[in-house]
Structure 1
Amino acid sequence: MNYELTIIVPLYNEEENLLRVEEELKKYLKIALKKTCVLFVNDGSSDNSLKLVEEICRKNTDFHFISFEENQGLSAAIKAGFDYSKTPLTGYIDSDLQTDPEDFNLLLKEIGEYALVTGVRTDRKDSFVKNLSSKIANGIRRSFTHDGMDDTGCPLKVIKTDYAKRIPMFKGLHRFLPAMIMLQNGKTKQVPVRHYPRIAGKAKFHLMNRLVGPLLDCFAYLWMKKKYINYNVTKRDE
């Protein structure tokens, strides 16, 4: 189908959201700036999510899925999406639809010279505690990575797939995508996007794993940065 963009949709126990996800993504595919397909990554859901995803993909030729045997976490789901993406660009959006698929076009307009363009949520509709913990976590991460990003947790991103496939993977990866691109000497940019309250399903992150997890992951990032191998081949024997 000559797709140019694959949108990864990681999900874990999101049966209440999936039909809305289907409708919103179908609407986006009609106005997308690039020929786009959707890849659901079912992270070992224990509810009815997999059955719904299978039905959605049967009805829509631009929708596909992979499913884990058991729950592995968000970073693993994103990693699998990168691994299975076959298009030059790969996007990412959460299945809670707190960001708008239409805003992918805002990111696509900027992707040209950049390896990654990420959304930054404006006028966030989360609780005070969630907003505060995210702000603290972002501050901790910036102090370690110097990535200049205000909102790496924003679940709306577009990344050039060749960069995505070279990212060394570990749990907590989703917080460090811009920093991982910078290790490859790739350029990153953030663009304001809309944000909405969660209207169905349950949030998978809480105060402790928004603060303690990012702090521990920062030390893992520093170790990786010190050991990271990056090279560019300038000439080869054909």
Structure 2
Amino acid sequence: MQYSLIIPAHDEADNLPPLLGEIRDLPESHRPIEIILVDDASRDRTAPLVADMIAADPTLRLVRLPARSGQSAAMLAGVRAARADWVATIDADGENDPADLPRLVDLALASGADLIGGLRQGRKSSWSKQMASRLANDVRRNVLKDECSDSACGLKLFRRAMLLQLPAFNGMHRFLPALVQIAGGQTRFIAVNDRPRRHGRSHYGNLGRAAQGLVDLWGVLWLKRRSLAKAVRAAKEGP
């Protein structure tokens, strides 16, 4: 399978070189045909660092957002720029393990699903962040019935055309499994490795993220209840 790999990044200059090195070390059969680094208005050397690396790596591309727009906007900008029919995403902080990408590809080929999502095992983040994440995932799963215990995991693989037809909003990256299901797509999930952040600290606070997540949750629930996807899929031609 040929796929594009998108890395949304904000102030991750110290984490990118080792992450890109790990991606290049993937087996050739499962290596992305291109790596799209989407710089979300970083204030550090992220953009010039990647620009320098492009000369030595023709598969590396740089997309820049002029103002800080968030992970969902960075993801969408990368998806729109991608050349492959399949797109994978991975966090820039090194917490996701590129070695899991081949397993996502193999599951997509075997299952025919439209989205393969990672489920992080052995979380290495702080206790407070883990508890906030577990609570948010439990609430979301019970409300939306998306059967996903870790929708915010940055490691995902999906059909580009499927994602481009989804409603775009700030925070949508945390609801991709439910949004794909609402659009009539199939989802599958697989356990993936979780690692500690190499450098720097998280750009997200637990309280602010939880508050915004609740607002988004009710919006996605409204969308699920009002969706016409099932009716359209059931339509048949002829008498």
Q: Give the TM-score normalised by the residue count of structure 2.
A: 0.91
Secondary structure of 2:107 counterpart:
coil
Q: Following the alignment from structure 1 to structure 2, what is the Cα–Cα distance between the partners of residues 102 and 234?
A: 43
In structure 1, the partner of 2:174 is: 175
Q: Following the alignment from structure 1 to structure 2, what is the Cα–Cα distance between the partners of residues 182 and 132?
A: 26
Secondary structure of 1:176 counterpart:
helix
Deviation of 1:223 after TM superposition, in Å, equals 2.8
Unpaired segments ≥5 residues, structure 2 = none
Say if 2:4 and 2:33, in contact at 8 Å, map to a contact too.
Answer: yes
Report matched runs for 1:78-227 at 5 Å.
Answer: 78-112=75-109, 113-227=112-226
Q: Following the alignment from structure 1 to structure 2, what is the Cα–Cα distance between the partners of residues 17 and 224?
A: 37
Say if 1:107 and 1:191, in contact at 8 Å, map to a contact too.
Answer: yes
Deviation of 1:207 after TM superposition, in Å, equals 1.3
In structure 1, the partner of 2:59 is: 62
Deviation of 1:35 after TM superposition, in Å, equals 5.1
Change (3 A) 1:52 1:34: closer
Q: Following the alignment from structure 1 to structure 2, what is the Cα–Cα distance between the partners of residues 76 and 181?
A: 17
Deviation of 1:119 after TM superposition, in Å, equals 0.7
Deviation of 1:102 after TM superposition, in Å, equals 1.4
Amino acid at match of 1:106: R
Amino acid at match of 1:56: M
Identity across aligned pairs (percent)?
A: 27
Q: Following the alignment from structure 1 to structure 2, what is the Cα–Cα distance between the partners of residues 165 and 229?
A: 17
Deviation of 1:144 after TM superposition, in Å, equals 2.2
Deviation of 1:74 after TM superposition, in Å, equals 0.5
Secondary structure of 1:144 counterpart:
helix
Q: Following the alignment from structure 2 to structure 1, what is the Cα–Cα distance between the partners of residues 70 and 32?
A: 29
Root-mean-square deviation over aligned CA pairs? 1.8
Secondary structure of 1:185 counterpart:
coil
Secondary structure of 1:40 counterpart:
strand
Q: Following the alignment from structure 1 to structure 2, what is the Cα–Cα distance between the partners of residues 21 and 49?
A: 13
Q: Following the alignment from structure 1 to structure 2, what is the Cα–Cα distance between the partners of residues 35 and 96?
A: 19
Say if 1:118 and 1:152, in contact at 8 Å, map to a contact too.
Answer: yes
Q: Following the alignment from structure 2 to structure 1, what is the Cα–Cα distance between the partners of residues 102 and 21?
A: 17
Secondary structure of 1:111 counterpart:
helix
Say if 2:118 and 2:189, in contact at 8 Å, map to a contact too.
Answer: yes
Change (3 A) 1:148 1:72: same
Say if 1:140 and 1:215, in contact at 8 Å, map to a contact too.
Answer: no
Q: Deviations over 1:142-188 (max 9, x none)?
A: 12211010101111000011111111110110110001110121111
Deviation of 1:132 after TM superposition, in Å, equals 0.4
Q: Following the alignment from structure 1 to structure 2, what is the Cα–Cα distance between the partners of residues 81 and 47?
A: 20
Deviation of 1:222 after TM superposition, in Å, equals 2.1
Q: Following the alignment from structure 2 to structure 1, what is the Cα–Cα distance between the partners of residues 154 and 122?
A: 15
Say if 1:7 and 1:38, in contact at 8 Å, map to a contact too.
Answer: yes
Deviation of 1:202 after TM superposition, in Å, equals 1.8
Q: Following the alignment from structure 1 to structure 2, what is the Cα–Cα distance between the partners of residues 95 and 35?
A: 16
Deviation of 1:32 after TM superposition, in Å, equals 4.2
Q: Deviations over 1:175-232 (max 9, x none)?
A: 1000111012111111011111112022111211332121111111123334445456
Unpaired segments ≥5 residues, structure 1 = none
Amino acid at match of 2:129: K
